């Protein structure tokens, strides 16, 4: 066991408590039920920071033309090929004009950042993506603008018509932000409220003019431009109530109204919210009309359980999620642009990264993959080091640009890159391609249905669950420990198995061998699982 794993290994749950978690057998909570499926229920998303993806014009900055050039890497639109990643939806971090590298302080909500291109290029990107079957959503930064936005520059004057577009006090109210940060900032004629920093003054949504303007922004991107939806940044902070700076009733009411505007513009548009909080605080946003919210506790549990070699945290998180969301949809992920990269969290253990990938892509919900995760890029704070340029090759500047990139490359780029992994069956990239392909081809893996299985004496080593549709069953057996797991007997929910022989195909077995699973009454014998590996057992429909 590595030092990292030993440090992160949790204390085992009491067996009685673990049994209580495992008794939650039907967890239809990570994706919504319903007869009509929304497109995102069958999607695997890929998060892209355009500045860091691919530089087409040699200025060291990624751009929209560069992204268009690399669309075939993501999905070439031909299901018969296997050398693309296979994702069918993209989330682009902010693309509006901004004075900062990250784009979360917007100066023009109706234009594209000039470093990336223009609206014409963006429309061409949408056309090219849609032609390949790829949907595209963009970051919508509602909570704040840039302090360099013309609205705010005008608002600094007391007599300005834009004064009430922001939050002002003549004296510092004295309270700090949720993380102990300064939130009141002095400028001409008063203190203004900026939750994240002084360069991002919060917009005042108690002013109906601000709401009307942002509704126009939403219509512009959906109607005029044609995006497929939005990722809503910092959505829990939209409207404050004094020192209560998150999750206020006014925020929830505002989002309910906004949902109507979105639906009127595009009934199929996706709204996925960033509510960085506990599940109990996240769930009400799904009642406001958001289609998805990112599930942070489950992400942490997957990483922690894999790093420690114990399934306890994951089992606990799965049971909690099943109880809290009660059939409402979530977005699943491992890490994003604000968090240390997966490989840095896992001590650059490729097999551990494969385990995490398998969990992410076999659990319910809509999975989101951060760019570079599929090749094992490393990166730990500050944020710039989590958003370094994509590593395409072992050549100069990792094939990202012919010149020095806007941010120095991450360590290991000479060996950790797309070119080095593309033709190697045992690589992390190949495993991600394989898993994404199986998810999109296997209805049971996109279903909302899941039941945790009681692994008995192997509960300190294995997490196992079953996924199903009306005519398809998949059993996942993940051995997180550093020791081989002997065969186990599990009981499945009633009706999932026929009375005859049960034959399975391990989707991760390159040979595609059929395995006959032994039965003992109502219990099914699952085969042995090597250390730090996953079996994905598709029950053969002709036999089950």
Q: CA torsion angle for 445, 448, 454, 460 (degrees, to 10)? A: 70
> Which tokens belong to 145?
């603008």
Q: Write down the catalytic residue from 274, 295, 373, 449.
A: 274
Query: Which are the contacts of 448, defined by CB distance < 8 A and separation ≥ 6?
Result: 28, 29, 30, 31, 32, 33, 327, 364
> Which tokens belong to 258?
């906004």
Closest CA to 357 of 402, 321, 303, 405: 303
Where on the phi/psi map is residue 348: left (φ > 0), alpha (ψ -120 to 50), or beta?
left
Closest CA to 166 of 182, 180, 153, 179: 153
Closest CA to 28 of 314, 327, 283: 327
Where on the phi/psi map is residue 447: left (φ > 0), alpha (ψ -120 to 50), or beta?
beta
Q: Specify whether the CB–CB gap between 259 and 167 falls below 8 A.
A: no
> Which tokens belong to 210?
């601000």
Where on the phi/psi map is residue 103: left (φ > 0), alpha (ψ -120 to 50), or beta?
left
Q: Report the half-sphere exposure of 79 (CA within 13 A, side-chain side).
A: 6
- The interaxial angle of helices 296-308 and 350-362, nearest 10 deg, is 140
| Four-residue CA torsion sign, 258, 262, 263, 268 | negative
Q: Write down the catalytic residue from 105, 139, 233, 291.
A: 233
Q: Give the DSSP per-residue string, 268-310.
A: T-EEEE---S-HHHHHHHHHTT-SEEB-HHHHHHHHHHHHHT-
End-to-end CA distance of the chain: 39
Q: H or E segment at 370?
A: strand 366-370
Active site residue 233: yes
> Which tokens belong to 40?
């995102």
Q: H or E segment at 72?
A: helix 71-74
Chain-centre distance for alpha carbon 292: 10
3-state DSSP assignment of residue 143: coil
For the chain, how many residues are written? 544
Nearest-5° Cα angle at 135, 131 to 137 = 140
Query: Which are the contacts of 471, defined by CB distance < 8 A and separation ≥ 6?
Result: 541
Active site residue 348: no
For the annotated catalytic residues, the residue numbers are 233, 274
């Amino acid at each position: 066991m590595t030092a990292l794993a030993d440090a992160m290994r949790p204390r085992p749950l009491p067996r009685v408590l673990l049994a209580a978690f495992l008794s939650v057998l039907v967890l239809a909570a990570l994706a919504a039920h319903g007869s009509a499926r929304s497109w995102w229920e069958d999607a695997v998303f890929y998060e892209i920071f355009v500045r860091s993806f691919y530089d087409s014009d040699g200025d060291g900055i990624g751009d929209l033309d560069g992204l268009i050039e690399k669309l075939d890497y993501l999905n070439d639109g031909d299901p018969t090929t296997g050398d693309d990643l296979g994702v069918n939806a993209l989330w682009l971090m902010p693309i509006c004009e901004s004075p900062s590298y990250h784009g979360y302080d917007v100066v023009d909500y109706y234009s594209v950042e000039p470093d990336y291109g223009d609206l014409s290029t963006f429309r061409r990107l949408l056309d090219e993506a849609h032609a390949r079957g790829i949907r595209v959503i963009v970051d919508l930064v509602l909570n704040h603008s840039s302090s360099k936005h013309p609205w705010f520059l005008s608002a600094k004057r007391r007599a300005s018509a834009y004064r009430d577009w922001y939050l002002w006090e003549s004296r510092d109210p004295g309270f700090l932000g949720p993380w102990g940060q300064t939130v009141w900032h002095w400028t001409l004629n008063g203190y203004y409220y900026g939750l994240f920093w002084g360069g991002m003054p919060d917009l005042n949504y108690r002013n109906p003019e601000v709401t009307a303007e942002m509704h126009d922004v939403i219509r512009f991107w959906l109607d005029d431009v044609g995006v497929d939806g939005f990722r809503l940044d910092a959505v829990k902070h939209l409207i404050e109530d004094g020192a209560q700076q998150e999750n206020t009733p006014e925020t929830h009411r505002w989002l309910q109204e906004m949902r109507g505007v979105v639906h009127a513009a595009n009934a199929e548009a996706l709204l996925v919210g960033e509510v960085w909080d506990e599940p109990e605080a996240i769930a009400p946003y799904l009642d406001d009309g958001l289609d998805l919210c990112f599930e942070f506790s489950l992400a942490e549990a997957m990483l922690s359980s894999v790093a420690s070699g114990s399934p306890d945290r994951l089992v606990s998180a799965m049971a909690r999620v099943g109880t809290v969301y009660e059939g409402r949809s979530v977005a699943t992920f491992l890490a994003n642009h604000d968090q240390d990269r997966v490989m840095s969290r896992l001590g650059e253990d490729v097999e551990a990264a494969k385990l995490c990938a398998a969990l992410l892509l076999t659990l319910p919900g809509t999975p989101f993959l951060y760019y570079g995760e599929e090749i094992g890029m490393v990166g730990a704070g500050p944020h710039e080091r989590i958003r370094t340029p994509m590593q395409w090759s072992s050549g100069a500047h990792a094939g990202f640009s012919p010149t020095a990139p806007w941010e120095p490359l991450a360590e290991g780029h000479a060996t950790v890159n797309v070119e080095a992994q593309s033709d190697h069956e045992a690589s992390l990239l190949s495993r991600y391609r394989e898993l994404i392909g199986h998810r999109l081809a296997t209805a049971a893996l996109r279903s909302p249905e899941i039941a945790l299985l009681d692994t008995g004496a192997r509960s300190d080593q294995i997490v196992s669950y079953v996924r199903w549709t009306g005519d398809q069953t998949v059993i996942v057996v993940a051995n997180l420990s550093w020791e081989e797991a002997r065969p186990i007997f599990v009981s499945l929910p009633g009706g999932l198995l026929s009375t005859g022989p049960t034959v399975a195909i391990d989707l991760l077995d390159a040979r595609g061998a059929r395995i006959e699973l032994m039965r003992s009454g109502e219990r099914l014998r699952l085969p042995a699982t090597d250390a730090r590996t996953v079996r994905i057992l598709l029950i053969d429909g002709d036999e089950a």
